[in-house]
Amino acid sequence: YRETLEGLGFVVNPYDQCVANATINGSTCTICWYVDDNKISHIDPDVVTNIIEKIEKKFGKMKVSRGRGHDFLGMKIHFHDNGTVSIDMKEYVKGAIDEFPEKISRSASTPATRHLFEVRDGVKELDKENAEIFHSTVAKLLYICKRCRLDIQNAVAFLTTRVSKPDEDDWKKLRRVLQYLKGTIDDKLILGCKNIGKMESFVDAAFAVHKDMKSHTGGGISWGIGILLSMCQKQKLNAKSSTEAEVIGVSDFISNMIWARMFLEKQGYTIDENLLYQDNQSAMKIEENGSKSCSKRSRHIDMRYFFIKDRLETEGIDIIYCPTEYMVADFFTKPLQGKLFHYLKAIIMGHVPLETLTSRFNTKNQERVEEHGKAISNNVIPCVESDTQDSNKRGRQNAEKKNDKFQVVTEEVKLSYADAVRGQG
C-alpha cells in the first residue's frame, strides 16, 4: 500500500509510517491509514475523489464515507465548522457497563476515591472467573481512556497494575470507574488548535504513591483546546525525593515533546514556542542548570538531568513555573476530587480553552523565577529536596481547601457541548 501511495507522489512521514502527504494543486493532501481503513483530506473534494479512484484500481472497490461525521473503531468523530473535532465512544462505554456482571445502577462524581493507590494487605483475591472479567474490563477501559475519555486515565492506569492479582478492593475501584462513566456517558473529547506553532506541555509526578514506593508520572500536550498527547504511568524506578521524581517524569515525557515537534515539521508546520510547565522549582533548576544546581542528595541522577538539559537547549524548550493549583498534569498523577477535578477536567477534555487556565498564572511570579534561574547559572545554589517536598505537599493541601481558587465561572465549566462546538468556550 505504501509503495502505491509513493507511486502517486506521496511522501511518508518518517515519524509516523501510517501518514503520507502530497502537494496537489498547491495544497497538501494527507492520507492516514490503520490496517485497511483510510482517512483522506484535501481542500478540494475532487482531488479526494481522484485519489480514491486510483487506490481502488489497485486494491478494488472501497466503502467510502464523506462528510463531517465518521465512525471509526468504536469512536464517533465529528469535524466542526470552527476547526475543532469531537470524539465520543458512548456506545463502546455502554457496552463495557452492560457486560459487567454487577448492575451499575448509580453514578459517581469522580472516577476514583482519594484512596486509589492504596493496596491493603490481607484482602481476599478474586477467583479465576472474576479475575478474568476484571482483566477484560480494564482492557476495554484502557482502550477508551487512550482515545477520548482522558478523565478516567489515572484510575485506569492504576488498575492496569493490578490485573495479575486483583483483589476485592480492586473490584470496588473498577466498579467506581464504571459508575462514573455511567453518569458521564455523554461526555466528549474536544480537540482544537489556537496556534499550531505554540506547543504547551505540562509534566508532574506524585512521589512514592504506589505500594512499592514508586512514583507516578503525568503529562499532557495541548495546542490550545483539549489535551492531544497524554501520559499517565507508574515510574519504573524508585526516586529518593519528590524532586528526583519530577526529573524522572520530565525525562520520560520529553520524548513525546520531541516526537510531536519532529512529526509536525514533516507535516509542514514549525513550532515557534515550545513551553514546558512544572510546579517543582528545584527540579526546574536541575533541568536547566545541571550539576550547578545539585546537592549531595541529587548527584546520583546526573544521567537524567544531563539528558534533559541537553534537550532543552537543542529543542528550544522553555521551562515555565506553573503554580500547583493550575498544574494540568496533576489530573494524571493523583485522584483529584471536587471542584479541582471538574476544573481540570474541563481543560483536559477541551470543554474550556487552555488559555482560561494559563491566563491565571501570576506573570510577576514567572518573571521572578526566570530571573532567579539566570542568577544561579553563575552561582551554585543547592537544592533542598525535603523543603521542596514539604512545600509541594502543603501546596496541594491548600489547593484542595481553598475552593474559591477553583470557582471558575459557571458558564465556563458547565458549557453545553453545543456551545463548545460553536467555539464559545
pLDDT digits (tens, 9 = 90+) for 363-397: 544 554 455 555 544 444 333 334 434 444 444 45
Single-letter code of the amino acid located at 71: D
The residue with cell 459508575 is 179
Please tell me what DSSP assigns to residue 227.
E
Number of H helices and E strands in the chain, helices first, is: 15, 14
Cα–Cα distances in angstroms (integers) from residue 92 to residues 16, 87, 89, 235, 350, in the given order = 27, 12, 5, 30, 21
Cα–Cα distances in angstroms (integers) from residue 191 to residues 34, 82, 224, in the given order = 21, 11, 8
CA distance 425 to 414: 10
302 has pLDDT over 80: no
CA distance 211 to 311: 32
Q: Which region among 92-106, 125-139, 388-402 has the lowest average model confidence (pLDDT)?
A: 388-402
Residues with Cβ within 8 Å of residue 393, at least 6 apart in sequence: none
Residues with Cβ within 8 Å of residue 101, at least 6 apart in sequence: 130, 133
Q: Which region among 216-220, 294-298, 299-303, 377-381 has the lowest average model confidence (pLDDT)?
A: 377-381
- Check if the beta carbon of residue 379 is closer than 8 Å to that of residue 294: no
Neighbours of 114 (CB within 10 A): 12
CA distance 217 to 236: 10
The model's confidence at residue 124, banded by pLDDT at 50, 70 and 90, is: very high
Cα–Cα distances in angstroms (integers) from residue 294 to residues 214, 218, 334, 341, 383, in the given order = 22, 24, 27, 34, 6
Q: What is the pLDDT of residue 374?
A: 54
CA nearest neighbour of 71 among 52, 83, 95, 88: 88
CA distance 378 to 375: 6
418 has pLDDT over 70: no
What is the distance in angstroms between the CA of the first residue and the CA of the last residue of the chain? 41
Describe the strand order of the beta sheet including 19-24 as a list of residue ranges.
11-12, 19-24, 27-34, 37-41
Residues with Cβ within 8 Å of residue 74, at least 6 apart in sequence: 89, 91, 92, 143, 147
Q: What is the pLDDT of residue 52?
A: 94
CA 228 to chain centroid, in Å, comes to 6
- Check if the beta carbon of residue 117 is closer than 8 Å to that of residue 210: yes
Single-letter code of the amino acid located at 376: I
CA nearest neighbour of 389 among 245, 288, 231, 202: 245
Helix (H, G, I), strand (E, B) or coil at 59: helix
Task: Give per-residue pLDDT as tens, 314-362.
Answer: 888 999 999 888 999 999 999 999 999 999 999 999 999 999 888 876 4
